[in-house]
A and B are shown apart, each in its own frame.
Chain A
Amino acid sequence: MNYSWDWGLLFRSPHIDWLIEGFRNTVVMAVLAWFIAMSLGSLIGVMRTLDNPVAKRVGTIYVEIFRNIPLLAQLFLWYYVIPELLPAAAQKFVKRDMADPQFWTSVVGLGCYTAARVAEQVRSGIQSIPRGQRAAALAMGFSTAQVYRYVLLPIGFRTVIPSLTNDFLGVFKNSSLALTLGVMELTAAARQIEEYTFHSFEPFAAATVLYSCVTLLVITLMRVIERRTRIAGSVGSGR
């Protein structure tokens, strides 16, 4: 193979600026989308465990829709189709006045997609708790909201920390699909460097290293959180 390596090109302007901007966009998108996914997903997951049949149904429909349509199709729907269905005033805002519509569409799309996954984790976490806990909490006089706030969610979240870590890494990696809407995230930055320099190995190697670093960091952090929140005396806590 006759390839002349030039690692230095990564650190030359404007390539380094593209990489930095791409990395920043990837991280910011993932964090914002995760924020949506956790809030919306917890709500939907809780709804699926309530006795109220309407809440249950709404939760189930949400999960089925957002889990079963491919993420790329969802991003296109959010970007090309949904704005057309909005009332005129909202349409004008989305199409003309909103800053950076590709970025925000990606955040919302990724967030709603990942919310369906988070919802399933939250639901399974809550349902893994013996039914007596809910009865005992209700018998104390806690309202339903308090039963979730103080008993079911704290226990349920602990049991699904490993799966939630996977979902966060999922949203981080899936954010690369935002390049199809034209967002300058990490993968798009690597591709742009390739197009300008005809060097493909260096920029994609850089992107790979950056993705891996974040993944390792997140896994390490979540291990610490898992250890810190582990319930004393429970299985596997070493006491």
Chain B
Amino acid sequence: MIEVTNVSKWYQQFQVLDDCSLTIRKGEVIVICGPSGSGKSTLIKCMNGLEPFQKGEIKVDGVSVGAKGTNLPRLRSRIGMVFQNFELFPHMTVRRNIALPQVKILGRTRDEADARAVKLLERMGLPAQADKFPAQLSGGQQQRVAIARALAMDPVAMLFDEPTSALDPEMINEVLDVMVALAQDGMTMAVVTHEMGFARRVADRVVFMDQGMIVEDATKEAFFGTPRSERAQLFLSKILQH
């Protein structure tokens, strides 16, 4: 579904991604972890063309992200993305946040889009929030709305960039539960997170990044058993302490 082949990226002199290769098959859930600044966000932003890269190739469902003629908006509309800071549009109600992209990008009618929004909000456990504005919701609720907004586009894959890092501890689980359900429904997912409980439950593979390199790409059994690299071991021991 998503094939990353020998991708390198620089900010001027500074190399953010160093020869990264990664394959995510249909229905697979991979968790990407690693220290802050290791290039995790950059890597998944390259997958939907939010960040350009200088070397290598990324293909989504057979379409090359970096190629000149690629219709990026169209490609992006088929990949859902969820951000650390939710990024709901603050001037729209929850319903409109979910409905507007369906109408303007997919060409659905307003009624179809609204119906879809209501259904997804129910699935996210937020049936009563449709007419509120984002700032009137808690962080956990906002993030679930953001997930609903992405799902409304019927994406072939979902990218998550630290979806629970900005949440108060008591709200983390309500978001993780939704993501687990999504994984169990067979969604193709790439999740940047340090929630190793989530990785244990639903990840097929765990990818460890450090200094722009993919240091480890292993099944979760292998990763949590004995990671091969010392850096991954060190990282794991640190984050599993709390």
The residues of A with any CB-CB pair to B shorter than 8 Å are 130, 132-133, 135-143, 146, 150-151, 154-155, 158, 231-234, 239
Give Cα A138 to B81, complex, Å.
10
Q: Note all chain A residues with C-beta closer than 8 A to B136.
A: 232-233, 239
In the complex with contacts A141-B73, A142-B73, A233-B135, A132-B90 CB distance below 8 A: no
Interface residues in B34-69 by Cβ distance below 8 A to A read 45, 48, 50
* B101→A232 contact, CB < 8 A: no
Q: Note all chain B residues with C-beta closer than 8 A to A136.
A: 81, 83, 87, 89
* A132→B134 contact, CB < 8 A: no
Among A132, A138, A141, A232, the most chain B Cβ lie within 10 Å of the Cβ of: A141
Q: Note all chain B residues with C-beta closer than 8 A to A150.
A: 89, 100, 104
Q: Does B224 contact A (CB under 8 A)?
A: no
Q: Note all chain A residues with C-beta closer than 8 A to B45.
A: 135
In the complex with contacts A138-B50, A155-B91, A146-B135 CB distance below 8 A: no
Give Cα A130 to B90, complex, Å.
11
The residues of B with any CB-CB pair to A shorter than 8 Å are 45, 48, 50, 73-79, 81, 83, 85, 87, 89-91, 100-101, 104-105, 132-136, 149-150, 153
Q: Note all chain A residues with C-beta closer than 8 A to B90.
A: 155, 231, 233-234
* B135→A232 contact, CB < 8 A: yes
Q: Note all chain A residues with C-beta closer than 8 A to B104.
A: 142, 146, 150
The residue from B76, B78, B89 contacting A138, defined by CB atoms under 8 A apart: B76
The residue from A130, A139, A143, A158 contacting B81, defined by CB atoms under 8 A apart: A139
* A137→B50 contact, CB < 8 A: no
Give Cα A135 to B132, complex, Å.
23
Q: Note all chain B residues with C-beta closer than 8 A to A133.
A: 87, 89
The residue from A135, A140, A151 contacting B77, defined by CB atoms under 8 A apart: A140
Give Cα A88 to B184, complex, Å.
74
Q: Note all chain B residues with C-beta closer than 8 A to A158.
A: 91
Give Cα A232 to B90, complex, Å.
8
A-B contact number at CB 8 A: 75
Give Cα A234 to B92, complex, Å.
12
Give Cα A141 to B106, complex, Å.
9
Q: Note all chain A residues with C-beta closer than 8 A to B132.
A: 232-233
Q: Note all chain A residues with C-beta closer than 8 A to B87.
A: 130, 132-133, 135-136
Q: Note all chain A residues with C-beta closer than 8 A to B91.
A: 154-155, 158, 231
* B133→A232 contact, CB < 8 A: yes
CB distance from B34 to the nearest CB of A (A): 21
7 nearest A-B residue pairs (beta carbon): A141-B77, A233-B135, A136-B87, A233-B136, A139-B81, A232-B133, A141-B76
CB distance from B180 to the nearest CB of A (A): 23
In the complex with contacts A150-B104, A231-B91, A232-B136, A141-B83 CB distance below 8 A: no
14 contacts between A and B (CB under 8 A): A132-B83, A133-B87, A138-B73, A138-B76, A139-B48, A140-B77, A141-B74, A141-B77, A141-B78, A158-B91, A231-B90, A232-B136, A233-B135, A239-B136
Nearest opposing residue in chain A for B75, CB measure:
A141
The residue from B74, B76, B89, B133 contacting A139, defined by CB atoms under 8 A apart: B76
* A140→B153 contact, CB < 8 A: yes
Q: Note all chain A residues with C-beta closer than 8 A to B105.
A: 140-142, 146
Give Cα A151 to B88, complex, Å.
10
CB distance from A134 to the nearest CB of B (A): 9
The residue from B85, B133, B135, B149 contacting A140, defined by CB atoms under 8 A apart: B149
Give Cα A139 to B134, complex, Å.
19
Give Cα A204 to B150, complex, Å.
62
Q: Note all chain B residues with C-beta closer than 8 A to A151.
A: 89
In the complex with contacts A231-B135, A232-B135, A139-B101 CB distance below 8 A: no
* A233→B134 contact, CB < 8 A: yes
CB distance from B43 to the nearest CB of A (A): 15
